[in-house]
Amino acid sequence: MLEKQFKPEILYNTVVHFYMDKKGYSKDKANKIAQLVVQKEAQRRICKNEKCKHFSHDHIRNSETCLVSECECNKFTK
């Protein structure tokens, strides 16, 4: 089973609109928060194996095998 590909622009827009519309934050403050959230989510989805560094959607979730052909990664490391 493959994980859905991470789409940072969708998450960014959702976070910005949430903080502006629901919380009443300024556009600048909402943008800063959204940048931090997207960076954190991107880092969470990157394999921590030093030889790999591919996104989790480049791995098969059940066997955690990397799908990139030239990669030496045997297991997705969190």
Residues 53 and 68 in one domain: yes
Write out the residue range of the structural domain in which residue 11 sits.
6-45
57 assigned to some structural domain: yes
1 assigned to some structural domain: no
Task: Convert the pLDDT of each residue in 20-53 to its tens digit.
Answer: 999 999 999 999 999 999 999 888 877 777 777 6
State residue 52's pLDDT score.
75
31 assigned to some structural domain: yes
69 assigned to some structural domain: yes
In terms of C-beta density within 10 A (0-12 exposed, 13-18 middle, 19 or more buried), how is residue 62 classed?
exposed
For the cut 80, the answer to whether the pLDDT of residue 9 exceeds it is yes
Residues 20 and 39 in one domain: yes
Closest CA to 7 of 70, 49, 73, 55: 55
For the cut 50, the answer to whether the pLDDT of residue 1 exceeds it is no
Question: How many structural domains is the chain composed of?
Answer: 2
16 assigned to some structural domain: yes
pTM above 0.85, yes or no: no
